Amino acid sequence: MKFERELLKGVAPVVVLEIMSRGRMYGYELSEAIETKSQKILTLGQGTLYPLLYNLEAQKLIKGEWETAESGRKRRYYSITSKGKERLETDKSQLADLFKSLKLVFGTSFSGV
Amino acid sequence: MEKNKEFSDFNLPACAVEYIKLVVKKMKWRKSVRADVQAELIGHFEDAIRDCKTNEEKEKKAKELIENFGDAKLIANLARRAKKRCRPMWVKALIVTAQIIGIIILFIIIRSLPMYIGSPTISVNYAEWLNEKVRAGRDESLNAKPFYDKAISTFVEQPKWLQEIKTHWPGDFNEQQLGEFKIWYDKNKDSFEALRQGSAKPAYWNIYDTNEPNMLAVLEPMMKHLGGFRRIAQNIWWKVKYDIYNNDFNSATAGVIALIKLGQQMHGQGTLVEQLVGISIEAMGIGSIFENRNAVQWPEEKLREIQIQLEQYVNNPVITLDSEKAFMYDYIQQSFTDDGHGNGRILKKGIPIAFDNWQELVKDFFITGFPDRQQTIEKIESLYELSEQRFSKTLFELKNEPLDKPLEHSEKNPFLLATQVSLANKKLIELTWRLKTERDGQITTIAIVRYHKQTGKYPDSLEELLNKGFIKRIPFDAYKNGEMTYKKIGDSFTLYSFSNNFKDDSGDDTFGKWKDKGDTVFWPVKTK
């Protein structure tokens, strides 16, 4: 299932932060993780992934570091910062509230939460 | 570091290499940042095709990925923007500062540019205008100028010791000095005679060079010429002293009258510097009458001749600002464009006249915009109007007015308008009233001495002097705003002005003339 771009745009940073809160990751690994964890429902465009990561880095919510992987290749690993964790908690709480409100509006027809 | 390796080091399909190169190229950002992004994308593609067995599979997977990535230019733009946000705070601050400075510089250039574009239109020759003004339609034969020019060209410089000597009285010279003085005196006879002949003329007016490009250039050669006037005035001042010393009061009277008239002819018309020189020469002439040890020996009829000469100019203006206005108008003409309707835009040269100080210049530059030609003319006219209003008041009436306002005059002020107009406001008013009061004081002193010579006593009051026809009006003390102070003391008298402190210090002359302490005393006279 593909989401409208604008709908996904607001949620994408929370999703990235949430996945990254479980461990540091490099770009490709992250895109795979999003697909897997969301059972391919959330497919973040590959092209928007890196700009999104750079933006989160600019906001100091994640931190990128070049490291040598076991295979001997250098990769840029991203990990969530304490500021990122705080933001994640806030965003998650807001999302929960949003879903509650949506459920109230849509009633039983809104079964996503 | 791997991120700096070439593509050949990686096993990527050609389409992937081309795509990554395109993204990196389109980023148009710093080389190190592009290298980072390139390394990440290479890693991403490598990871994606890692499990592909054949080249065809790799090619197919890479194409899918490229499609998923989307437009290379868009990715490049998004990545560049995001990377820009990653810059450290100090870099961001530096960039913002540089941008602000850039904007300011651009603003300054745009704002200043019109000042360098365009040229003034010279439509009025103000030197010609001034020539007509000072000549006032009189015949050239009435002008004392040729005689004064001759006096200047023929005068012989004073011996050095005479320029430095403390005494003002030839009786204090030694034999050798007296001998040298006599030789110098004789050598100057032609100059003295030319000066006397000039002073016999009804008027003097200068002829300004109309070929000069502006009024400033007209003033320059004139300054040297004025130095000549000062010298012949100093020469004749010594001549008067020497004549009095020799009891030659006929010659001394001619000298005093020549000196006074030279000064009187120079002020009240022409340029401001000429008028200032005229004021100082008349004051020098006034001072030469009694400031010597043979003062009481002046014959009454000779004193009367001098008094008549002094009285001739009593109602004439000491200072006129016409030439100053002409100077300003000429400066405007030279430093503004002309739109043909009396207005125009300021050129670089106009800065000193359009502004009074740096604050005003900066404010107009950045906020309100520069004044145009018309606004500048209006400003100058209103300032001169204020000056003229002040000239009509006495110093006493002006004592609480800050005369150098609304413009501050200081040595460091580079703004012409402030320098010129504030000078007119303060110094000129002071000098005018000083001369007028000094002249009134001397006329009255002469009249009192004449009264004594005729009656053997001093008048009880100035009214008595007036009633008996020795003076035409009661002398005015501008520092008191009333009648000059006369006191009969035993077999003598005192006559004085309240001077700069506007207070009666009982004729205390300890501090000299026109000082902030004591009075300016016309009689008894201090001899030097």
Of residues B78, B136, B249, the one with CA closest to residue A46: B78
Packing angle between helix B373-391 and helix B416-425, nearest 10 degrees? 20
E strand or H helix that includes residue B463: helix B462-467
Which residues in chain B are closer than 8 Å to A54, comparing Cβ atoms?
A: 79, 82-83, 85-86
The stretch B36-65 carries a mean pLDDT of 90
- B74–A50 C-beta distance less than 8 A: no
User: To probe the interface with B, which of A46, A62, A73 has the most B CB atoms within 10 Å?
Assistant: A46
State how far residue B103 is from chain A, nearest Cα, in angstroms: 26
Given a contact cutoff of 8 angstroms between Cβ atoms, the answer to whether B227 and B274 are in contact is no
* A68: helix, strand or coil: strand
The stretch B279-302 carries a mean pLDDT of 87
Task: Specify the DSSP class assigned to residue B336.
Answer: B
Cα atoms found within 13 Å of the Cα of residue B306, Cβ hemisphere only: 35
Confidence of residue B527 (pLDDT cuts 50, 70, 90): low
B187 close to A (CB below 8 A): no
* Percent of chain A's residues with pLDDT above 90: 48
CA A85 to CA A91: how far, in whole Å? 10
Lowest-pLDDT range of B152-161, B319-328, B466-475: B319-328
Given a contact cutoff of 8 angstroms between Cβ atoms, the answer to whether B259 and B240 are in contact is yes
The predicted pLDDT at position B2 comes to 43
Q: How many CB pairs under 8 A join A and B?
A: 70
CA B500 to CA B484: how far, in whole Å? 14
State how far residue A54 is from chain B, nearest Cα, in angstroms: 5
Can you say whether the dihedral through the CA atoms of B417, B418, B420, B425 is positive or negative? Answer: positive
Given a contact cutoff of 8 angstroms between Cβ atoms, the answer to whether B462 and B486 are in contact is yes
A78 close to B (CB below 8 A): no
Tokens of B431: 């000098």
Given a contact cutoff of 8 angstroms between Cβ atoms, the answer to whether B471 and B444 are in contact is yes
The larger pLDDT score, comparing residue B199 to residue B323, is at: B199
In DSSP terms, B346 is beta-bridged to: B336
State how far residue B23 is from chain A, nearest Cα, in angstroms: 10
Q: For B209, phi and psi rounded to 5 degrees?
A: -70, 115
The stretch A2-19 carries a mean pLDDT of 79
State how far residue A106 is from chain B, nearest Cα, in angstroms: 34
- A75–B43 C-beta distance less than 8 A: yes
ipTM higher than the 0.90 cut:
no
CA B350 to CA B340: how far, in whole Å? 18
pLDDT tens across B81-95, in order?
988 888 888 888 999
The predicted pLDDT at position B404 comes to 60
CA angle B387, B390, B393 (to 5 degrees): 160
Given a contact cutoff of 8 angstroms between Cβ atoms, the answer to whether B385 and B393 are in contact is no
Confidence of residue A3 (pLDDT cuts 50, 70, 90): low
The stretch B498-513 carries a mean pLDDT of 92
Please give the span between the terminal C-alpha atoms of chain B, in angstroms, as a whole number.
97
Tokens of A112: 């996503």
The stretch A33-54 carries a mean pLDDT of 83
pLDDT tens across B243-254, in order?
999 999 999 999
The yes-or-no verdict on residue B500 having pLDDT over 70 is yes
- A27–B1 C-beta distance less than 8 A: no
* Number of Cβ atoms within 10 Å of the Cβ of B117: 10
The predicted pLDDT at position B505 comes to 95
The closest CB to that of B82, out of A26, A27, A55, belongs to: A55
Confidence of residue B30 (pLDDT cuts 50, 70, 90): confident
The larger pLDDT score, comparing residue B326 to residue B423, is at: B326
Lowest-pLDDT range of B23-37, B262-276, B384-398: B384-398
The closest CB to that of B82, out of A31, A58, A66, belongs to: A58
The residues, any chain, with a CB within 8 Å of residue B142's CB and separated by 6 or more, are: B201, B202, B203
The predicted pLDDT at position A70 comes to 74
The stretch B455-463 carries a mean pLDDT of 95
State how far residue B78 is from chain A, nearest Cα, in angstroms: 5
The stretch B281-291 carries a mean pLDDT of 90
How far is residue B464 from each of residues B459, B461, B471, B482, measured CA to CA in Å?
6, 5, 10, 17
The predicted pLDDT at position B224 comes to 81
The predicted pLDDT at position B501 comes to 93
State how far residue B364 is from chain A, nearest Cα, in angstroms: 42
What distance lies between CA A91 and its chain's CA centroid? 11
A75 close to B (CB below 8 A): yes
22-81 in chain B: CB under 8 A from chain A = 36-37, 39-41, 43-44, 46-48, 65, 68-71, 74-75, 78-79, 81
Determine the residue type at B526. K
Can you say whether the dihedral through the CA atoms of B275, B277, B280, B285 is positive or negative? Answer: negative
Tokens of B488: 């009969």
Q: Where are the beta strands (DSSP E) in B172-326?
A: none
The stretch A44-50 carries a mean pLDDT of 82
A22 close to B (CB below 8 A): no
Tokens of B213: 């490009």
The yes-or-no verdict on residue B103 having pLDDT over 90 is yes
pLDDT tens across B326-372, in order?
888 999 999 999 998 889 999 998 888 888 778 888 888 888 888 99
Please give the mean pLDDT across all residues of chain A.
85
Please give the mean pLDDT across all residues of chain B.
89
Which residues in chain B are closer than 8 Å to A76, comparing Cβ atoms?
A: 36, 39-40, 43
Task: Specify the DSSP class assigned to residue B157.
Answer: P
The predicted pLDDT at position B4 comes to 46
Alpha helices in B313-426 (DSSP H): 322-335, 351-354, 358-363, 373-391, 395-398, 416-425
- B86–A74 C-beta distance less than 8 A: no
* Number of Cβ atoms within 10 Å of the Cβ of B44: 23
The stretch B138-145 carries a mean pLDDT of 96
B465 close to A (CB below 8 A): no
The predicted pLDDT at position A79 comes to 96
The yes-or-no verdict on residue B6 having pLDDT over 80 is no
CA B176 to CA B154: how far, in whole Å? 25
Confidence of residue B188 (pLDDT cuts 50, 70, 90): very high
Task: Specify the DSSP class assigned to residue B139.
Answer: -
The predicted pLDDT at position A53 comes to 93
* Number of Cβ atoms within 10 Å of the Cβ of B428: 22
Tell the residue number behind the tokens 């001899």, with chain if given. B527
The predicted pLDDT at position B1 comes to 40
- A50–B37 C-beta distance less than 8 A: yes
State how far residue B83 is from chain A, nearest Cα, in angstroms: 6
Given a contact cutoff of 8 angstroms between Cβ atoms, the answer to whether B45 and A80 are in contact is no
The predicted pLDDT at position B240 comes to 94
CA A56 to CA A47: how far, in whole Å? 15
Of residues B274, B155, B141, the one with CA closest to residue B208: B274
Cα atoms found within 13 Å of the Cα of residue A51, Cβ hemisphere only: 22
The stretch A42-57 carries a mean pLDDT of 85
- This prediction has a pTM of 0.70
CA A52 to CA A49: how far, in whole Å? 5
The predicted pLDDT at position B219 comes to 83
Of residues B511, B493, B459, the one with CA closest to residue B503: B511
* Percent of chain B's residues with pLDDT above 70: 93
- A45–B71 C-beta distance less than 8 A: no
* Percent of chain B's residues with pLDDT above 90: 59
Given a contact cutoff of 8 angstroms between Cβ atoms, the answer to whether B319 and B274 are in contact is no
Buried b (16+ CB within 10 A) or exposed e, B85-100: ebeeeeeeeeeeeeee
Lowest-pLDDT range of A1-10, A45-54, A77-86: A1-10
CA B180 to CA A4: how far, in whole Å? 115
- B1–A66 C-beta distance less than 8 A: yes
CA B439 to CA B484: how far, in whole Å? 12
The predicted pLDDT at position A4 comes to 60
Tokens of B136: 């006032």
Determine the residue type at B230. R
The predicted pLDDT at position B351 comes to 86
Q: For B131, phi and psi rounded to 5 degrees?
A: -60, -45
The yes-or-no verdict on residue B462 having pLDDT over 80 is yes
Name the range with the highest mean pLDDT among B109-113, B143-147, B401-405: B143-147
- B83–A76 C-beta distance less than 8 A: no
Of residues A41, A90, A84, A92, the one with CA closest to residue A61: A84
CA B481 to CA B395: how far, in whole Å? 8
- B39–A50 C-beta distance less than 8 A: no
Confidence of residue B217 (pLDDT cuts 50, 70, 90): confident
What distance lies between CA B256 and its chain's CA centroid? 33
Rounded to 10 degrees, the C-alpha dihedral B26/B31/B35/B38 comes to 0
Tell the residue number behind the tokens 């500062």, with chain if given. B97
The predicted pLDDT at position B424 comes to 61
Tell the residue number behind the tokens 């009969």, with chain if given. B488
The closest CB to that of B1, out of A45, A52, A74, belongs to: A74
The stretch A56-77 carries a mean pLDDT of 87
The closest CB to that of B70, out of A29, A45, A75, belongs to: A45
State how far residue A95 is from chain B, nearest Cα, in angstroms: 25
Given a contact cutoff of 8 angstroms between Cβ atoms, the answer to whether B293 and B171 are in contact is yes
Confidence of residue B137 (pLDDT cuts 50, 70, 90): very high
